[in-house]
């Protein structure tokens, strides 16, 4: 009987193409071709209606057997493919638990942070405490109460970043408002003296801002460390002894300290402080430009006018102050020729320290 022969033939070729398929996608294509709505089996079974009524049961039985045989073969083949797909995935994603872990690079302190803490520790060791003030500061604290005259060049908008007062409350004269980015950490002195009574021994590290273009010896934002002592009987000798101690701790026990007269509005007398060059031991080298000395900070005795602004009695108390740049100290100590290295985030540079 032709139809039954066709069914048997379909079983044979169907099983062959199932066996020949070599992945899940190929197998699915074979399944659709054999058993889908437009597939071969459906096509053959269309002939069922044309058979005589007594022939139909036998043909129907064979067609069921063929369908079942094909479905089983499809299922078996699929199981093979899924198993090997799983196998492959397991191999590919295998974790070797015996491999050593990957070490994460730990964060580290930036050299400027390290030097700032080193300097702070030296003064904490002498009994100073750390004080802080705002980076966005009032003209009053940054200049006026530090005895800086109204026409002092540092107040120029070309040297100082003034902050625009959007509320329009503060008087703004020729682009110079009452609010600015502090140009020095000295205003912290004023804030501390306003709010405390002597004895005062403080160190104030922090960021300061100046309208400078970055070059080997200038940065528009850098770090200053301010010191202030106010007590009874404080003399210039105390200042010098303190700075010598600092120089020995920071640059080595053999360092000599030299004070040169200078001017700062808020100290009188004022001095600039040099430390003998630790690289050439004072003989003269590239670092100290042949002089044997490195300029490290500014200092002086607190001007009585400043005491006047904060209500401290200059007849009873005296004091000294000093200020230094952390970037400069770091550059001198570690022989860094260009301050811009400190802000460029080049890990090859930063990792050295
Ligand atoms: N504020 C000064 C500057 O930025 C540094 C300084 C000098 C601070 C003398 C002081 C001081 O406290 O007494 O150049």
* Chosen domain end from 64, 92, 120: 92
Q: Are residues 117 and 236 in the same domain?
A: yes
Residue 11 lies in a domain: yes
Residue 97 lies in a domain: no
85 prior amide bond cis, ω within 30: no
Q: Are residues 164 and 249 in the same domain?
A: yes
Whether pLDDT at 173 is above 70: no
Helix axes 24-35, 56-92, angle to 10 degrees: 170
* Chosen domain end from 59, 92, 125: 92
* Chosen domain end from 61, 92, 123: 92
pTM for this predicted structure: 0.71
Whole-number Å distance between alpha carbons of 106 and 122: 27
Q: Are residues 42 and 187 in the same domain?
A: no
Q: Are residues 82 and 127 in the same domain?
A: no
Number of domains in the chain: 2
- Determine phi and psi for 222, rounding to 5 degrees: -145, -170
Interval 126-156: pLDDT, tens: 999 999 999 999 999 999 999 999 999 999 8
The CATH number of the domain where 225 resides is what? Answer: 3.30.930.10
Q: Are residues 53 and 132 in the same domain?
A: no
Query: Considering only CA atoms, which of 77, 56, 73 is closest in space to residue 11?
Result: 73
Span from the CA of 299 to the centroid of ligand 1 (angstroms): 6
Span from the CA of 325 to the centroid of ligand 1 (angstroms): 10
Whether pLDDT at 171 is above 80: no
pLDDT at res. 279 = 86
Q: Mutation test of ligand 1: which of 141, 160, 264 has the most ligand atoms closer than 8 Å to its C-beta?
A: 264
Residue 105 lies in a domain: no
Q: Mutation test of ligand 1: which of 131, 154, 322 has the most ligand atoms closer than 8 Å to its C-beta?
A: 322
For 83, the domain range is: 2-92
Span from the CA of 322 to the centroid of ligand 1 (angstroms): 6
CA dihedral 12, 17, 20, 22 (to 10 degrees): -150
Interval 332-341: pLDDT, tens: 999 898 999 9
Query: Cα dist. 86→24, 93, 267 in Å?
Result: 12, 10, 80
Whether pLDDT at 188 is above 70: yes
Q: Are residues 88 and 159 in the same domain?
A: no
Interval 220-265: pLDDT, tens: 999 999 999 999 999 999 999 999 999 999 999 999 999 999 999 9
Measured by CA distance, the residue closest to atom 4 of ligand 1 is 184
Q: If DSSP states are collapsed to H, E and C, what string results for 257-297? A: EEEEEEEECCEEEEEEEEEECCCCCCCCCCCCCCCCEEEEE
Strands 200-209, 129-130: pairing is: parallel
Q: Are residues 72 and 191 in the same domain?
A: no
């Amino acid at each position: 009987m032709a139809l039954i022969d066709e069914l048997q033939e379909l079983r044979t070729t169907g099983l062959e193409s199932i066996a020949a398929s070599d992945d899940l996608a190929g197998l699915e294509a074979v399944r659709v071709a054999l058993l889908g709505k437009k597939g071969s089996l459906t096509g053959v079974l269309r002939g069922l209606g044309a058979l005589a009524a007594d022939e139909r049961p036998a043909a129907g039985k064979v067609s069921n057997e063929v369908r079942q045989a094909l479905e089983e073969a499809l299922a078996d083949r699929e199981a093979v493919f899924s198993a090997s797909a799983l196998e492959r995935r397991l191999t590919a994603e295998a974790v070797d638990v015996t491999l050593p872990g990957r070490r994460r690079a730990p964060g580290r302190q930036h050299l400027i942070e390290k030097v700032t803490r080193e300097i702070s520790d030296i003064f904490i060791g002498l009994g100073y405490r750390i004080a802080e003030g705002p980076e966005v500061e009032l003209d009053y604290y940054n200049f006026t109460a530090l005895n800086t005259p109204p026409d002092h060049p540092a107040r120029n908008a070309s040297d100082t970043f003034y902050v625009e007062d959007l509320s329009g409350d503060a008087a703004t004269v020729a682009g110079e408002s009452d609010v600015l980015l502090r140009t020095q950490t000295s205003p912290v002195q004023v804030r501390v003296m306003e709010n405390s009574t002597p004895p005062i021994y403080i160190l104030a590290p922090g960021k300061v801002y100046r309208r400078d273009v970055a070059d080997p010896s200038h940065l528009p934002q850098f770090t200053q460390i301010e010191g202030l002592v106010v007590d009874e009987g404080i003399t210039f000798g105390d200042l010098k002894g303190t700075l010598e101690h600092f120089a020995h701790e920071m640059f080595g026990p053999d360092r000599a300290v030299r004070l040169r007269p200078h001017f700062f509005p808020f100290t009188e007398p004022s001095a600039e402080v040099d430390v003998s060059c630790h690289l050439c031991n004072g003989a003269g080298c590239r670092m100290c430009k042949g002089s044997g000395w490195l300029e490290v900070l500014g200092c002086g005795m607190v001007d009585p006018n400043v005491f006047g602004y904060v209500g401290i009695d200059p007849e009873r108390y005296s004091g000294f102050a000093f200020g230094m740049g952390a970037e400069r100290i770091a550059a001198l100590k570690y022989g860094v020729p260009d301050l811009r290295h400190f802000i460029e985030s080049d890990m090859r540079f930063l990792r050295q320290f």
